[in-house]
Structure 1
């Protein structure tokens, strides 16, 4: 498909974090962009501010005439959209060009030097660090991010088209549509078992992704993963290793051992060894791309993070409120490690909203263990996203498995009172559902603002 011949692009699920980045990209490149989403959000509001029309009804009659010509219109949809969606079926039945988000990303990036970030955890943070490093070093690039960068207040970095930086998403095997020049794999923990069935199938798909690299492409893998590539790790014998790590004024200061030398005194402001690992592989990819050390030192020090990735909402002497997207047991473990490293003596209350009935069922025991580590646990109902309920799989069922006396099932209406009653200095909200929309409300109430 020649994208130059496409004038109109309609997104089904335009408010999704990955979809909206592509919508921004095409809008900036002069295409007519419009789309549907189920609910109005800050993201859809920001798209409207750019002049993009967003509708919240899947009625075909809502579509502008320009989007009804299959010769000049491309339809992009997210796999999260239900199969009975009226607009999607109309476009399929009427022979429109209809592509998944991952397929259009493959088309956009195929003629650029593509750096892809894969892994069951860490994709968004690593991609945003990598995009920021390249941008600060004046690389001609476009970076599609799976979160809102604090540096750019956007999920798109647009500064040219010679290089592309993308998240390579394993959900629905989407990343197999990419053909990167460089790729990294941060982790391969079992997830999306509703798609894969078991962990071995997930690993096979990651192996298939490594074969999508262009000839002479470079693969970076976290040390210990069962894949061949350039390895990276924290304080170990990997090809790239973070060494001499100290914490100074809440930031990591460390050296990077490369296959050839040791580079001194990098500074990174995000807490948690998982985030340090993400920074390390972004540095490794940048160095292998050919960027100079002195510029990378400055660029990494100026990186601010991604919204909902260990994001400080309140940070005072008496109260710290942190919000994080963690929705898998390993991600919750990483958040726990980070908060204990930064606040080893303070009481921590964690508010968790499980995401998906299937994920909760598949990893119930692991969720129970990861949550039990906090001083107090407040559990919200499961966020269903694209799923129907599974009989017996509830937050109350999960709560019973958590080996912690200080635990409670709460609602969005009661959660703040329980947080206040806990007398905890450190408050965490964790989850990938609509808990993110509650954060500003919780913050206001904790600060006693109207």
Structure 2
């Protein structure tokens, strides 16, 4: 049973976020009356409405449902730290005595009764947690999985295969933003990466690393950490229990006999006396092999057999906007990816270049957050310059107000590739429609903002360009 029995009504401020929506879905399934606000009627908001959740998109007091206003003592308000502090709705609830908790606090509370697998990391946590949730689901283990992306096939970010009262295991993405993961005390902990990020939360990389160490020290049973990260954090100085390490070719768990194609990767799992041959992962990307190594290891720790894991990994459906092939045309390939950090972009482009060594690569990038752009604009330019052509869109602000002098121009000016352009989305579509499609061209849409919502328009522009070329060839 979800331990929020004092409440009848749950009101979410920022319900359309990927983490908030998963929690809202769970509480609605548990029988609470769930309501919420989000600033725009996104695809997620529209889907939640179809599932019976009442949501408004106006940040004004008159829009709050009457039942919430009339029952302050029976209402729990859950907010995301992405909500501006001057939000009229947020400040109304603060001023009128409602119980307010952050999503991280509620998730920490909810997870306490369960055996919890928490996946942390500045990259890789969504795919890794999705793989674990999928393996558990396919193996028939009663579980709940909170995933920070929409899983293909399931078309949801909340996965469960049992009545909630029968659930024993919970998979959670442990988010380092705003120190959210410090509210968790997981049974099993995975750390995939700890590269410098979130400058709005951590003043220095050392501050972020210190928080990762705090999070690791909350672990109750088994720690699994990427091998380079273990060295980076000097984990042996801060964690006295035995722990496991993994990596592509270094650590206690590695991959061997790797074969990578455009649509799948095959490898052998080798780790601590266990050998699983010919693991077929239906997705590409060297980083996804590491994610799979972590998911396989934790599932073995949970007692799932190698045969069950082999079968489940082979049917992993992937996650929307994670190396998602949108168009596979003989002349070009359009791939959409959520990468929004220089390290992620480098890993993406490096994988694409290795899989398609004879192709030209066009990267369309939308920077995410002013603070991240300010901190990493040179690194973004270095990563993106691995492509043959780069289009840079304006910064997606998300939760931030503009910063003087911080624009996409900073990244553009540092790019070393010769074919580059600073564009709006309308300008991009116009250029794509007017540009000839180069044979064996790979087009990548990259970023964590609303670029994902424009991928269909980009695909249409590319198709239009190809049709025009054929008609005038």
Q: What CA distance in whole angstroms lies between the structure 1 residues aligned with 2:222 and 2:274? A: 19
Contact 1:25 1:158 in 2 (8 A): no
Which of 211, 226, 234 in structure 1 is aligned with 2:248? 234
Q: What CA distance in whole angstroms lies between the structure 1 residues aligned with 2:96 and 2:208? A: 35
CA deviations over 1:217-261 (Å, ceiling 9, x no partner) = 11110012232421011123x222111212367421111112123
More displaced, 67-76 or 309-318? 67-76
Question: For residue 87 of structure 1, what is the aligned residue in structure 2?
Answer: 89
Backbone CA RMSD of aligned residues: 1.6
Which of 428, 436, 439 in structure 1 is aligned with 2:452? 436
CA deviations over 1:99-130 (Å, ceiling 9, x no partner) = 11111111111100000000011111111111
Contact 1:379 1:399 in 2 (8 A): yes
Change (3 A) 1:422 1:356: farther
Question: For residue 57 of structure 2, what is the aligned residue in structure 1?
Answer: 56
Which of 288, 301, 306 in structure 1 is aligned with 2:319? 306
Which of 176, 184, 191 in structure 2 is aligned with 1:170? 176
Number of residue equivalences: 447
TM-score (norm 2): 0.92
Deviation at residue 297 of structure 1 after TM alignment: 0.5
CA deviations over 1:148-202 (Å, ceiling 9, x no partner) = 0003100000223211001000000000000100010000000001211000000
Superposed counterparts of 1:34-183, under 5 Å? 34-68=35-69, 69-160=71-162, 161-183=167-189
Would you identify which runs of 4 or more consecutive aligned residues in structure 1 move more than 6 Å?
none
Provide structure 2 residue ranges, at least 5 long, that are not aligned to the other structure.
237-242, 468-473
Deviation at residue 422 of structure 1 after TM alignment: 5.8
Contact 2:255 2:269 in 1 (8 A): yes
Question: Is 1:419 paired with 2:432?
Answer: yes
Question: For residue 7 of structure 1, what is the aligned residue in structure 2?
Answer: 8
Which of 202, 205, 214 in structure 1 is aligned with 2:211? 205
Deviation at residue 383 of structure 1 after TM alignment: 1.2
Contact 2:262 2:283 in 1 (8 A): no
Q: What CA distance in whole angstroms lies between the structure 2 residues aligned with 1:46 and 1:248? A: 34
Contact 2:198 2:372 in 1 (8 A): yes
Q: For residue 245 of structure 2, give the secondary structure of its aligned residue in structure 1.
A: strand
CA deviations over 1:13-33 (Å, ceiling 9, x no partner) = 000011001111111111101
Change (3 A) 1:410 1:422: farther
More displaced, 218-227 or 195-204? 218-227
Contact 1:151 1:303 in 2 (8 A): no
Contact 1:349 1:422 in 2 (8 A): no
TM-score (norm 1): 0.96
Question: Is 1:287 paired with 2:300?
Answer: yes
Change (3 A) 1:357 1:190: same
Change (3 A) 1:422 1:391: farther
Deviation at residue 436 of structure 1 after TM alignment: 1.2
Q: For residue 73 of structure 2, give the secondary structure of its aligned residue in structure 1.
A: coil
Q: For residue 173 of structure 2, give the secondary structure of its aligned residue in structure 1.
A: strand
Superposed counterparts of 1:253-292, under 5 Å? 253-292=266-305
Contact 2:326 2:335 in 1 (8 A): yes
Q: What CA distance in whole angstroms lies between the structure 1 residues aligned with 2:3 and 2:310? A: 40
